[in-house]
Amino acid sequence: MAGKKPVLSIVEGPGPRTRSRSLAVEWRAWLVENLLAGVDRAKIIAGLVARGVPVATARREVAATATSPLLPVCGELAARARRLELAHALTRAHARQDAAPTEIERRTTPPAAEFFRHYWAAHRPVVLTDASAGWPARTWTPDGFRRRFGRVTVEVTSGRDADPEYDANVDAHRTRMTMARFIDRVLAAGRSNDLYMVANNHTMQRPAFRGLLDELRPPPELFHPPRATGFSLWIGPAGTITPLHHDTTNILFCQLHGRKQVELVSPSETALLAATLRGFYSTIDLDHLAAHPHPAVRAMLVRRVVLAPGEALFIPAGWWHRVTSLDVSISVSLLSWRRANDFDWYRPGTVS
């Protein structure tokens, strides 16, 4: 349904040739799309016949669909979708006129009023280059965790490499071992995505690690005092990947040891919503966008930033992001903002 060009001339159809006497659901959707686009009925029938549909079946299906009282309803819904898409297209068009459209602004932490106005309310990512300056947590290292917590049993995720949906299937990969054993494996792993301590392991909520909260000193004008449920700890080797997903909270992702690359995609890039979603996860492969068959995906604007130790990235709720460890890494995510931070209703992956 793009512009004035008939859909029939640009859409091949959903599947192989068939001699079925009734149309599959995908072909009926194709039929509705063409009728709403104003394609001549005879041309639609000819297109179906060319794809193996018997003439009588094609005529019957086209006639039934064209006269169905549901077709105008479909037209109204399609028009509403086009209007919403135009609103997002306007946002995308302005974003592409940025002098550096694939970069994220970097700056020292602004006053709270400025931060909440220019980044939080504007739904705009930013790197805060001095976010953890003066924090005792800036001295955290893998060896330090081994010395302090070596005998403590922790939960981590392992065996991730064998599961293409390892992050969504976190429960299947929960493993317990001592911190000393975990750190030894991390340091010996080289580049690997197989072993990782992630937010869903809830390390900061365990009594043995509560003392770590005192070593986090987020700006009090931005955050409530530290509490275990507002922070998450991430430890892993180089090569760990959190696949492309979105969250339903605003996050300050703080890099304390090693470097991480974060790739971000705005919610206004609605091509992501047209692709298959699995809950909070997208199936789009950021490494092969140029080869994707959909032009909107190929044109998608991806912002990339490498976080050095001491830097933090503000990730607004709903922004898609993929996180890759470039080194052995320790990170903390902060959630306990001094603003309402629960957008659990934003779940496009559950809409059917």
Q: Are residues 57 and 117 in the same domain?
A: no
Q: Are residues 206 and 291 in the same domain?
A: yes
- Looking at the structure of the chain, the number of domains it has is 2
Would you say residue 29 lies in a domain?
A: yes
Would you say residue 88 lies in a domain?
A: no
Q: Is the pLDDT of residue 283 over 60?
A: yes
Would you say residue 121 lies in a domain?
A: yes
Q: Are residues 39 and 173 in the same domain?
A: no
Q: Are residues 249 and 156 in the same domain?
A: yes
Q: Which structural domain range is residue 50 located in?
A: 7-68
Domain edge (last residue) among 68, 88, 119: 68
pLDDT, tens digit (0-9, with 9 covering 90-100), for 209-263: 999 999 999 999 999 987 767 889 999 999 999 999 999 999 999 999 999 999 9
Burial of 318 per CB tally in 10 Å (0-12, 13-18, 19+):
middle
Would you say residue 305 lies in a domain?
A: yes
The structure tokens listed for 299 are 């044109």
Would you say residue 1 lies in a domain?
A: no
- Summary count for the chain: helices (H), strands (E): 9, 15
Would you say residue 92 lies in a domain?
A: no
Burial of 181 per CB tally in 10 Å (0-12, 13-18, 19+):
middle
Q: Where are the alpha helices (DSSP H) in the chain?
A: 25-36, 41-50, 55-66, 70-95, 112-115, 142-149, 179-188, 271-274, 295-298
Q: Is the pLDDT of residue 350 over 60?
A: yes
Instruction: Give the whole-angstrom CA distance, residue 331 versus residue 253.
Output: 7
CA of 27: how far to CAs of 4, 121, 219, 274, 312, in Å? 21, 43, 56, 18, 48
Q: What is the CATH number of the domain that holds 187?
A: 2.60.120.650
State mean pLDDT over 58-80. 93
Q: Are residues 284 and 345 in the same domain?
A: yes
Instruction: Give the whole-angstrom CA distance, residue 284 versus residue 72.
Output: 33
State mean pLDDT over 62-73. 94
Report yes or no on whether pTM surpasses 0.75: yes
Coil, helix or strand at residue 316: coil
Would you say residue 74 lies in a domain?
A: no
Model pLDDT, residue 275:
80
